[in-house]
Amino acid sequence: MYRYDEFDHTLVAERVSQFRGQVARRVAGELTEEEFKPLRLMNGLYLQLHAYMLRVAIPYGVLSSLQMRKLAHIARVYDKGYGHFTTRQNIQYNWPKLPDVPDILDELAEVEMHAIQTSGNCIRNVTADQYAGVAGDEIEDPRIYAEIMRQWSTLHPEFSFLPRKFKIAITGAPNDRAAVKVHDIGLRMVRNEAGEPGFEVLVGGGQGRTPMIAHTVRDFLPIRHLLSYLEAILRVYNQLGRRDNKYKARIKILVHETGAEKFTAMVEDEWAQIKDTPLALPESEVARIKAYFAPPEYDTLDDNSPEFDAWRGGDRDFDLWVRANVAEHKVPGYAIANISLKPIGGTPGDATADQMEAVADLADRFSLGEIRVSHEQNLVLGDVKKRDLYALWQALKTHDLATANIGLISDMITCPGLDYCSLANARSIPIAQEISERFADLERQHDIGELKLKISGCINACGHHHVGHIGILGVDKKGVEHYQITLGGNADQNAAIGKIVGPAFSGDDVTDAVETIVETYLDIRADGESFLDTYQRAGLEPFKERLYAAH
C-alpha cells in the first residue's frame, strides 16, 4: 500500500498544527460557532444532534493492521469505544470532545491518516472496489489511479471551494462493486481495440433529492490523460455549477439542465486546451505509484484444498459463511474473506475497539496485514489461504464477526439517521435492527438469496436507498416518522433508480411491509431468479397489490 513521503508528512503535520490553534481559539471564545464552522468542516469535524462527529478518511478503503489498531485506540480513548464505517469508506467517531480533536488528528498523523477533505465543498475521499488487486475479473488495480487522484485533488487550489461536494469512484473490473454510476464522476477501466487499458468516464450520477444515473462522456480515455480530463470536467462544473441553490448545485443538475451532449462538448473543448500540458501523466509517475501496489509474493498453492472441502462438508454453519462471505481470488489457493459488520440486531457499520483490534490481529495472522473497507459498510481480508478459512471463521465467531449474510437481506446499508444526524427526518438504525431480527434465520436468508436493502433517514440518501433492491426512506408526516419504500434500485454495472411502491408506512408497519414484499417474491419467483430478476420480470404491480391489501 502507499506510504507517505516527506511532502505528505509535512502537509498533514502543518494542517494539524493549524487546526490546533483554531480549536484553542474556539474553546477560548475567540471564535463563534459560525466563524469556526468552515474551519472545522475543512478538517472533517461536523456538529451533529448531540455532539461533534469526526470523519476520518480511509483512502480507497485500504488500511494496514497498524492503522486499524490506531482507529481502535482512538475509539477507546477519545470516543465511546466504537467507530462507524461509512459508505465513502471512511470511519466516523460520534462522540469526540472538541478539545481532544487536535490530539486525535496528531495520533492519526502518526500512522499516515487524516480527516482532510472528508467534508466541505471539495473533492471527497475517492472510493474504489474493495476487491482491488485481488479480483479475478480485474483489468488493472484501480488503487493506483485512486492514489494518483488523491494526490492531485488534495488541497487543489482551484477545486477547494466547488459549488457543492464532489465524489469520485473507480472500478478496475467490468463487474462494478464501487457504484460508479451514482457518483459525480465514475471511472470504469476498459480496454480499447488495441488492448490498451484506459477509462470509460461517466459524469452526473448521484443520489440525494434528485437521483440520477451518470452519463458516459467518454468511452475510452488513455491513462496518461486521466488528470487533464478530470481537470476539464471540474473546470466546467466550477464555472457553470449553481452556487445560489444548494439543492441544484451538484454536477448532475448541471449535466441534466445543459444536456449530456452539450456538457460533453464543453468538457472536450476545455480538455483540448490542457491535455498536452504538465497535467499529462508521465509513465514514470504511474510506474512509481504502481510499485506501492505491487502484488505480494504469493505461495504456490493448489486451488483444491481437501481440508477446506472437508470442513465445508462437515460444518453447515461454516458452509453458509463460505457461500455468502467468501469470494474468488485471482491466485489459486487463496480467497477473499468478507467480514460482516451487520450482526443480527446490531447497528450496521459499527465496530467496537475490541473488534477492530481483533480484525487487525487476524489480518496479520491470515491476510498479509491489510484490511479493506467496503462502501457497503463491511470489512474485507483480501489474501486468505483457502486452507486457513476455517481457522479464520472460528476466530471471527469469538468476536461476533462471523455473520454469514454478505449480500443478503440483513446486510443492510444504513445511515445514522435521527439517532445522530441533524439533517435526518426519521430513525434508520432501529428500523434496520427490527428487520434484521425479523429475518434472523440465516437458512431463510440464504433461501431468499441476494437482496440488497438500503435505508436512509432523509432525502440526502446517505443510506443509498435509491439503489437498493428494496429501498426505505424515512420521511416526516406531520411530525410522525414514516417510511417510503422503493423497489428495483441497483448500484452495479446495470445501475437503476428504484420506483416508489405507494404511500409511506408507519414505523410500526414497515418491517411487516418488507416481509410482505419478500413473501410476494418467494411466491412468484421462477427457478433460479433473484429478487431483482423477479422484479424486472413481474414489475411493481404484484408487490403493490399484496402490500396495500395487507396493510
- What is the DSSP track for 70-87? HHHHHHHHHSSSEEEE-T
Distance CA 197, CA 185 (A): 18
Instruction: Find, among 45, 88, 82, the residue nearest to 463 by Cα.
Output: 88
Q: Counting every residue, how long is the chain?
A: 551
Distance CA 422, CA 460 (A): 12
Q: Is residue 173 within 8 Å of 330, Cβ to Cβ?
A: no
Distance CA 374, CA 371 (A): 10
Written as nine digits, the cell of 318 is 461454516
SS3 389: helix
Give the pLDDT confidence score for residue 123 in this predicted structure: 96
Q: Is residue 85 within 8 Å of 341, Cβ to Cβ?
A: yes
Written as nine digits, the cell of 35 is 466563524
C-alpha dist (Å) from residue 95 to 59, 101, 103 = 23, 11, 14
Give the pLDDT confidence score for residue 549 in this predicted structure: 86
Distance CA 363, CA 176 (A): 25
Distance CA 407, CA 266 (A): 40
pTM of the predicted protein model: 0.96
Residue 501 CB contacts under 8 Å (≥ 6 apart), including other chains: 485, 486, 487, 540, 543, 544, 547
What is the identity of the amino acid at 102? P
Q: What is the DSSP letter of 180?
A: G
Rg (CA), the chain: 23
Q: Is residue 347 within 8 Å of 431, Cβ to Cβ?
A: no
Phi first, then psi, for residue 362 (nearest 5°) are -70, -35
> What residues form DSSP beta bridges with 454?
413, 471
Instruction: Find, among 465, 492, 64, 514, the residue nearest to 292 by Cα.
Output: 64
- Burial class (CB within 10 angstroms; exposed 0-12, middle 13-18, buried 19+) of 529: middle
> What residues form DSSP beta bridges with 385?
334
Distance CA 456, CA 536 (A): 23
Q: Is residue 97 within 8 Å of 131, Cβ to Cβ?
A: no
Distance CA 111, CA 126 (A): 19
What is the mean pLDDT for each group of 10 consecutive residues in the chain (551 residues)?
A: 92 96 98 96 93 96 98 98 96 97 98 95 96 97 97 94 97 97 98 97 96 98 98 98 95 98 98 95 96 96 94 97 98 98 97 98 98 98 98 98 98 93 93 98 97 96 96 94 98 97 97 98 97 98 92 62
DSSP string, 266-307: HHHHHHHHHTTSTTSPPHHHHHHHHHHTPPP------S--HH
Distance CA 189, CA 272 (A): 22
Give the pLDDT confidence score for residue 550 in this predicted structure: 61
Written as nine digits, the cell of 62 is 485500504
Phi first, then psi, for residue 233 (nearest 5°) are -60, -45
DSSP string, 302-359: -S--HHHHHHHHH-HHHHHHHHHHEEE-SSTTEEEEEE-S--TTS-TTEEEHHHHHHH
